[in-house]
Each structure stands twice: as structure tokens, then as C-alpha cells.
Amino acid sequence: MVSSWRRVEDNAIPARAKITGAYVNSALAKTEAYLAGFDEAVVLNEDGQVAEGSAENIFIVRQGTLITPPVTANILEGITRGTVITLARDLGILVEERPVDRTELYVAEEVFLCGTAGLSPVVEIDRRKIGTGKPGPIFLRLQELYENVVREKVEKYWGWCTPVYSSPSP
């Protein structure tokens, strides 16, 4: 759902800084969504434009173009967001970083969120079905590539991955 809570302005608590106190804003939005029967909140900035999810970056697809709010929209400059943008361009998908109006969420062919846990499709916002009501083709392509990249199955991106080894037992 689109939350009634707004993203805190950059001059108050910068979202790109991942400051602990800023998580109160996200918690309020997430709690509001949960209590209203939704899984997640979409937060608008003070200009009334889409910023991000409560703790994830957001992408929409319109006419085959992948669109995400710019970093100037009071969003976290997420590592996964940057990864998705790069992977999309590598797949030949046109990417635009620009302001996104709330109503664009309702007419988008696809919407998805991304963050540390990966990519998550959004199939409904404010009880309005997005596209076909199922994960769309651009999301599915990006999700498959992303999952293969993080599991070191795509040699081109091996430099992005740092192996983590378990320590020997004492």
C-alpha cells in the first residue's frame, strides 16, 4: 500500500546515510501497511512522488522501460539498486532514473522492490492489480540473472562476489 507516512527529507535525516534513527520512519510505514492487511509500504517523499519501499528500493516498468526514482528523491543509494540497474542495461533493457508519480504505480506493467534480500515482485498496490497480477517478464529476467550472479554462475560478474569461507572448528 502507499503509506500515509512520508520519507524524511534529506536535510533532516538523509536516507542515503542508513542512519539508525531514520528507521523509525520506515517502521511506522511498515506497521501501517501490516495493520491494514498489506505486506509492504510504498513511501512517498514530501513532494508526493514515489521514494521507495519501507526498506527497499522500487522499480516500475512502463512501456518496456525500467524506471526508478533518482537518488535525489530521498532514497537509499542501495547497492542492490545499482546492481539491478547495471544488470538491466547489460540485458539491453532501457533504464530511466526519474521522478515517479504515485499514479504511475497503478498503471505500471510491473513493479518490484529490491534490497539486501534480493528482488521481490509487487503484484498489487492499494488493492489494485499491477499488470497481469503476476510477476512480469522484465522482473523474471532480472531476478534470474541476479540469482545467478550472486551464486557466481556468471563469469562476467565474478569480480562482484567475495567468497565467504567458514572457519575451521576449534
Task: State the pLDDT at residue 23.
Answer: 75
Residue numbers of the chain with a pLDDT score lower than 70:
11-21, 169-170
- Residue 63's contacts (CB-CB under 8 Å, 6 or more residues apart) are 109
pLDDT at 118: 95
Q: Report how far apart, in Å, the C-alpha atoms of 150 and of each of 81, 121, 139, 145 are.
A: 14, 18, 16, 9
* Three-class secondary structure of residue 39 per DSSP: coil
AA letter at 77: E
Nearest-10 Cα torsion for 157, 154, 115, 62 = 100
pLDDT confidence of residue 25: 84
Burial of 23 from C-beta contacts in 10 A (0-12 / 13-18 / 19+): middle
As a whole number of angstroms, the distance between CA 127 and CA 140 comes to 22
Interval 49-85: pLDDT, tens = 999 999 999 999 999 999 999 999 989 899 999 999 9
Residue 42: HSE in the Cβ half-sphere, 13 Å Cα cutoff: 25
Give me the phi and psi of 74, to 5 degrees please: 65, 50
Instruction: Please give the Cα distance from 146 to 138 (Å, whole number).
Output: 12
Residues serving a catalytic function are: 18
Domains and CATH numbers, the chain: 2-156 (3.20.10.10)
Q: How far apart are CA 91 and CA 22, in angstroms?
A: 34
